[in-house]
Amino acid sequence: MTSTLDGWIRNFVDGAFVDPDPQRGFDQIDPATGRVLAQVHEADQALVDRAVTAARRALDNGWADTPVRERTALLRRAADRIEERFEEFVAAEMADTGKPITQARELDVARALTNFRTFADVAAAAGQESFMTDLAGGRQALNYAVRKPLGVVAVIVPWNLPLLLLTWKVAPALACGNAVVVKPSEETPATATLLAEVLAEVGLPAGVYNVVHGFGGNSAGEYLTTHPGIDGVTFTGSSATGSHVMKTVAPRVRPVSFELGGKNAAIVFDDVDLDEALTGLTKSVFTNTGQVCLCTERVYVHRNIFDDIATGLAERAEQLRLGDPTDSATTTGPLISQGHRDKVMSFFKMAEQSGAKVLTGGGIPDLGQKFAFGSWIEPTLWTGLTNEDPVLREEIFGPVAALVPFDTEEEAIALANDTKYGLAASVWTNDLRRGHRVAQKMNVGISWVNTWFTRELRSPFGGVGLSGIGREGGESSLHFYTEPTNVCVAL
């Protein structure tokens, strides 16, 4: 069984790859070179309907009642199989995103394994809530909550960390006994499709994992979220799309879990170890070419060390190695598409209009003929902007940040929280008490001190404000992917 026979990336429905319709192909483009790598078969409404129907049938045929130990054993086999086919996943991730091989290996594909293994552990260890209620006459009632699968779950994911974010949802959903219909981003169809091969190989029953390819509105995304057979939607993507999806599912009152955009702040106090802080900030601004929802785009720096941090960060940005993704020394890949680069460049223009000083970057790098049609962009830093400027208010989602000075702790907290988003923050200080104090005051889902992107998959993850609804991770994932029925027995 193969998903990419003859250059087509196929849909996977009811345990089998679907023969592509040549009239419904769209391009998979390598963001590094601009080359067309394959054709992707866009699912029509009938195919999405088949996927949802197959998922329901799989639940009814026994998947929902499979013992947890069988489901978790299957997740572990899936992780082992991804490990065996590791380099194929790395190649698929690179084809989808153009990201450097080192990152694809160390972050994206490595995390896919960890997602499957962690959620197998979490599901295997999960207990159930129970309470004793005192009744009149000295009797008691036993209450216990039985957790049942949510049902058919629509999983809609973006293009920035496609395999990582997909498995972060699919692993707990399957561990809880759900069937899923996955809609990967139109930009990054390959890894979700390869995962279908792996899940079939390890014996996941037909219909439990389905993949439908396509776009959002008037395409597979909308067909899926409007389908009456969907019991819940877990979505990662932009806040605007999340808001739209929420309206779409509202008439049928389905649960949603939303992991949305961010405009994340870093606060750097003047007691930091400069070198350590610069290493952390470089990672937090430029990882994945700034295309991580958690990336820092606003850096508030104590005035005493503002020039040191600005100069140091610009130097580090200039040391990043852009270029051939297959070279293990490459640190920084392209943006996902020409369209996204246009969006990032529009912020370059806005920064200029707001009177920013460009510390480094601000343009398109020349990486030679081979990469001339890729979506490359220079890592870029600005000073001279304030929270009033659009560059500090809207999510840009590129390798960019604005540095702004502050004088007091209170001012830094107010500046960092002055946003409609609320995903992540990082605080850099050698004062332990201040670190805790400031981190707790951030209006975000995750607040780091002297680190960034350190993830404990058992802890809750999500955002406030425009950054999302609900939490996933550990127990929180089990809660979203199940419906409890409380049983009350008078004893």
Nearer to ligand NAD, 123 or 260 (CB): 260
Q: Which two tokens stand for residue 233?
A: 């939607």
**Residue of 103, 225, 429, 476 that binds ligand NAD (CB under 6 A):** 225
Nearest CB to ligand NAD, comparing residues 262 and 333? 262
Contacts of 302 (CB under 8 A, 6+ apart): 268, 269, 270, 405, 406, 407, 412
Which of 259, 297, 378, 472 is labelled catalytic?
A: 259
Phi/psi for 367 (5° steps) reads -110, 20
Nearer to ligand NAD, 29 or 278 (CB): 29
DSSP-based helix, strand, coil % in the chain, nearest 5: 45, 20, 35
Would you tell me how many other CB atoms lie within 10 Å of the CB of residue 147? Answer: 17
Q: How far is the CB of 200 from ligand NAD (least distance, A)?
A: 22
For 308, counting Cβ atoms within 10 Å of its Cβ (0-12 exposed, 13-18 middle, 19+ buried), the class is: middle
Question: Is 87 a catalytic site residue?
Answer: no
Instruction: Point out which span in 1-9, 87-95, 109-117, 209-217 binds ligand NAD (CB under 6 A).
Output: 209-217
Which residue number places its CB atom closest to ligand NAD? 216
Give the 3-state secondary structure of residue 412: helix
Instruction: Name which of 186 and 378 has its Cβ closer to ligand NAD.
Output: 186
Quick check: 463 binds ligand NAD (CB under 6 A)? Answer: yes
Residues 420-439 contacting ligand NAD, CB under 6 A: 423
Residues 159-178 that bind ligand NAD (CB under 6 A): 159-160, 165
The least CB distance from residue 329 to ligand NAD, in Å, is 26
Distance CA(64)–CA(107), nearest Å, equals: 31
Burial class of residue 379 in the structure, from the number of CB atoms within 10 Å of its CB (0-12 exposed, 13-18 middle, 19+ buried) = buried
List of residues 6+ apart from 305 with CB closer than 8 A: 268, 270, 272, 274
Query: Residue 189, interface with ligand NAD (CB under 6 A)?
Result: no
Indicate whether 183 belongs to the interface with ligand NAD (CB under 6 A). Answer: yes
Least spacing, CB of residue 261 vs ligand NAD, in Å? 3
CB of 268 to ligand NAD, least distance (A): 22
Between the alpha carbon of residue 476 and those of residues 11, 126, 149, 174, 259, the distances in Å are 30, 11, 14, 15, 13
Residue 67 found at the interface with ligand NAD (CB under 6 A): no
Q: In the complex, what is the shortest distance from the CB of residue 486 to ligand NAD, in angstroms, rounded to a whole number? A: 31
Calpha distance 262→370 (Å, rounded): 33
Least distance from C-beta 215 to ligand NAD, angstroms? Answer: 5
Q: Enumerate binding residues for ligand NAD (CB under 6 A).
A: 156-160, 165, 183, 185-186, 215-217, 221-222, 225, 236-238, 241, 244-245, 259-262, 293, 395, 397, 423, 463, 468
